[in-house]
Amino acid sequence: MEREIPVLYKRKEECCGCTACYAICPKEAISMVEDEEGFEYPQINENKCVCCYQCIKVCPIKAAREQ
Ligand code: SF4
Ligand code: SF4
């Protein structure tokens, strides 16, 4: 079964905008996009993503939730 494009956050509360995912992506598939309030959130370019899930592993919020 093919791996799916990861979901970095479902609600904005699940992302603090730390840019760790953006920094680690080996494919530069993530861009930080400003919302209407000026906060930056990561957005995955599905055409570039190779589903390595490194962005999910590095995310401090997801790591905290799994403990
Ligand atoms: S799964 Fe890998 S390639 Fe896709 S956005 Fe995350 S780090 Fe980048
Ligand atoms: S690593 Fe997690 S908290 Fe940091 S910008 Fe990416 S999704 Fe948001």
The verdict on residue 6 lying in a domain is: no
- Whose CA is closest to atom 3 on ligand 2? 15
Mean pLDDT, rounded, for 38-54: 97
pTM, 2 dp: 0.91
| Ligand lying closest to the C-alpha of residue 26 | 1
21 C-alpha to center of ligand 1: Å?
A: 8
The verdict on residue 5 lying in a domain is: no
Structural domain count of the chain: 1
The verdict on residue 29 lying in a domain is: yes
The verdict on residue 3 lying in a domain is: no
* Burial class (CB within 10 angstroms; exposed 0-12, middle 13-18, buried 19+) of 24: middle
Mean pLDDT, rounded, for 27-55: 97
CATH number of 22's domain: 3.30.70.20
Q: Which domain does 46 fall in, by range?
A: 12-66
Q: Is the CB of 44 under 6 A from ligand 2?
A: no
Give the pLDDT confidence score for residue 36 in this predicted structure: 95
Give the pLDDT confidence score for residue 2 in this predicted structure: 74
